[in-house]
Amino acid sequence: MRRRFFLAAFVLMCMAGALSAGRYVVPFKNVCGILASLLAPIEPWWTDIQYRVVVLIRLPRVLGAALSGAALAMSGAALQSVLKNPLVSPQIIGVSSGAAFGGVLAILFFENAFATMGCAYLGGILALFLVWCLCNGARGASPLGLVLAGIVINAFFTALISLIEYVADPYNKLPAIVVWLMGSFASASWDKLRYSAPPLLTAAALLYFLRFRIGVLSLGSEEARALGIDIQRTQWLVLGLVALVASATVAMAGVVGWIGLVVPHFTRIFVGDDYKRLIPLSCLLGTLYTVLIDTLARTLIEVEIPMGILSALVGTPLFAFLTYRLMKGEEGR
């Protein structure tokens, strides 16, 4: 508990550091002062530009990245348990592609960020509904059936996205679509956060409270049912929450991959498969990972690197290392 408290404090420090970093550096002391001034009246020692950069530009971006990272990592950990498969991530159930399709469709027909967000949510819900239909609806599905249905829906929406890219105006719409699909928190704003934060916070809180049931589901449907768990209700509730997180993230920042896969695996190094600690720690490490990657994305070189690219560039070697470690452990067993 004490260690978790120190880690939470460290994550908050990193978030404050992220507010300070950028092409226009704001001294850390000034960042702390600006943040404190949001809570209590303080005589300012910072400039007005520094205040605007921190509060209007960087704070919604860092909060958006932190919330998305936390919720995606928790979703990944939950999904891996529910599907009894440590190799799945929120993208595997097809919701990210569904949400991405909705967003891309909105970019093609409307030029409004909120229409993009709305369509992304609708696309995500549609994808989950199709997975549900493929799995014979209320009669439920095995983890393998769910993964297969997710792969099918994922492939279907990916093909539709490619179709839209093919027909989109190559000078006007196509670049906007391609950049949006690469994922970035650059366009994060307080308005966007207002629409994304409530679903992300709600889903993360419910996943946290469901952590015992999620652990029981990792035993497999048959055993969990025999232990008195209502499989259908729990399984679809968790899938619905994961879909909400994936849609809200895509709506805010486009497709951001790898967080839901890499972070829970990385967390397992410290706490093993202990469901009580896995989900809260995934939340903290997901926040840390996403905030750090987003900060690197905007500070590493002159132009901003899309989040999706950097997340994959950091995530793949990390995942390769984790796989190597796992295989070495299996050999030694």
Partner 1 sequence: MNEEKEKTGEKSATFCADKVGFRYGLRGEWLLRGFSCSLPKGEIMAVLGPNGCGKTTLLKLLLGILKPVEGSIRRGGHLGYVPQVSASAFDHRVLDMVVMGRAASVGFFSIPEAEDYRRAENALARLGIRDLAERGYARLSGGQRQLVLIARALVSKPCGLVLDEPTSALDFKNQDLILSALRQLADEGLSVVMTTHAPHHALHVASRVLVMENGARHFCGPPEEIVTTEQLRRLYDLELKTLRFEHRGRFLNSVVPIFS
Work out how close the CB of 24 gets to partner 1 at its nearest, in angstroms, rounded to a whole number: 44
| Contacting range for partner 1; rule: CB under 8 A; set: 99-107, 227-235, 259-267, 287-295 | 227-235
The residue from 45, 212, 270, 321 that contacts partner 1 (CB under 8 A) is 212
The residue from 206, 309, 313, 318 that contacts partner 1 (CB under 8 A) is 206
77 vs 292, beta carbon nearer partner 1: 77
Torsion angles phi and psi, residue 86, rounded to 5: -70, -5
Write the CB contacts of 181 (distance below 8 Å, at least 6 apart in sequence).
100, 104, 161, 254, 255, 308
Euclidean distance between CA atoms 52 and 144, whole angstroms? 50
* Residue 81 sits in the site that holds partner 1 (CB under 8 A): yes
* Residue 227 sits in the site that holds partner 1 (CB under 8 A): yes
Q: How far apart are the first and last CA of the chain?
A: 30
Longest dimension (CA), the chain: 63
Work out how close the CB of 220 gets to partner 1 at its nearest, in angstroms, rounded to a whole number: 8
Inter-residue contact 306 to 245 (CB < 8 Å): no
Work out how close the CB of 323 gets to partner 1 at its nearest, in angstroms, rounded to a whole number: 15
| Contacting range for partner 1; rule: CB under 8 A; set: 127-135, 168-176, 180-188, 225-233 | 225-233
Work out how close the CB of 3 gets to partner 1 at its nearest, in angstroms, rounded to a whole number: 17
* Residue 276 sits in the site that holds partner 1 (CB under 8 A): yes
# residues near partner 1 by CB under 8 A: 28
Binding mask 236-275 for partner 1 (x = CB under 8 A): ------------------------------------xxxx
Buried b (16+ CB within 10 A) or exposed e, 95-124: bbbbbbbbbbbbbbeeeebebbbbbbbbbb
Residues found in the chain:
333
Euclidean distance between CA atoms 164 and 8, whole angstroms? 42
Work out how close the CB of 226 gets to partner 1 at its nearest, in angstroms, rounded to a whole number: 4
> In this structure, what token pair is assigned to residue 247?
């849609």
Find, among 324, 294, 298, the residue nearest to 311 by Cα: 294
* Residue 86 sits in the site that holds partner 1 (CB under 8 A): yes
191 vs 222, beta carbon nearer partner 1: 222
Going from the C-alpha of 221 to that of each of 2, 142, 235, 271, the distances in angstroms are 35, 7, 9, 24
Work out how close the CB of 165 gets to partner 1 at its nearest, in angstroms, rounded to a whole number: 37
* Residue 75 sits in the site that holds partner 1 (CB under 8 A): no
Work out how close the CB of 249 gets to partner 1 at its nearest, in angstroms, rounded to a whole number: 24
The residue from 55, 152, 219, 313 that contacts partner 1 (CB under 8 A) is 219
| Contacting range for partner 1; rule: CB under 8 A; set: 3-11, 144-152, 171-179, 218-226 | 218-226
Q: Which long-range contacts (CB under 8 A, 24 or more apart) does 206-210 make?
A: 206/237, 206/241, 207/71, 207/74, 207/75, 207/78, 207/238, 207/241, 207/279, 208/74, 208/279, 208/280, 208/283, 210/78, 210/234, 210/237, 210/238, 210/241
* Residue 229 sits in the site that holds partner 1 (CB under 8 A): yes
- Where do contacts with partner 1 occur on this chain (CB under 8 A)? 81, 84-86, 206, 209-213, 215-216, 218-219, 222-229, 272-276, 333
